Homo-oligomer: A and B are copies of this chain.
Amino acid sequence: MIVLNGGSSSGKSGIARCLQEVLPSPWLAFGIDDFVAALPLSLRSSDEGIAFAPDGSVTVGPGFTALEAAWRAGIAATARAGAPVVIDDVFLGGPHSQQRWRTSLTGLDVLWVGVRCEAAVAAGREIVRGDRARGMAEKQAELVHEGVVYDVEVDTTHAEALECARVIAGRVG
């Protein structure tokens, strides 16, 4: 398994798609955005679920956390059943988020990847995307990496997603 962690608009999903292209065998790609899309609408913008504040900060409530744990268990089971999986996530809880994944992924071979991007550049890309709550990119750029331990780190500030994917693929099995 590969777990990509980075702030909003740091380029994780793009790297995941490129990894699927450059890795020699077929990998499945899932992301935290897929999990959010699977939630009932009532949890997609509420204190019980996930809430996006006007300043770009994101908070999650108990309804979100409980279902997210089950989703992580499902991703782990997909990998244990033999499908290579690349995940992209935003470790809002930093090392606690990583620990939760470690617990779910027990027994699996995991490559931990930090996807960095300078806050100002990520904020610019947030404008380019046009569909994201503003301010998330800047708020999360440093925050999600604090206390997290990686096998590889890439930085999309000056490198293309495809280049980053090649670096990561070079570290896979």
The 8 A CB mask of A51-77 against B (1 = contact, 0 = none) is 000000000000100110111011111
Which residues of chain A have a CB within 8 Å of any CB of chain B?
Answer: 11, 14, 17-18, 20-21, 26-30, 34, 38-43, 49, 63, 66-67, 69-71, 73-83, 121, 124-125, 127-130, 158, 160-163
Are B160 and A121 in touch, CB under 8 angstroms? yes
Report chain B residues within 8 Å CB of A129.
Answer: 14
Work out how many copies of this chain go into the complex: 4
**Complexed CA–CA distance, A44 and B129 (Å):** 15
Ordered nearest first, which 6 A-B pairs have the shortest CB separation?
A74-B78, A77-B77, A70-B83, A124-B162, A14-B128, A20-B40
Can you show 30 pairs from A to B with CB atoms below 8 A apart? A17-B127, A17-B128, A18-B124, A20-B39, A20-B41, A21-B40, A21-B42, A26-B63, A28-B38, A28-B67, A28-B71, A34-B34, A66-B82, A67-B83, A70-B81, A70-B82, A70-B83, A71-B78, A73-B77, A73-B81, A74-B74, A74-B77, A74-B78, A74-B83, A76-B77, A77-B78, A124-B162, A125-B160, A127-B161, A158-B158
Are B74 and A127 in touch, CB under 8 angstroms? no
* Majority-rule SS of A interface residues: helix
Report chain B residues within 8 Å CB of A42.
Answer: 20-21, 26
Chain B residue nearest to A104 (CB atoms) is B81
Contact of A41 among B21, B71, B77, B82 (CB under 8 A): B21
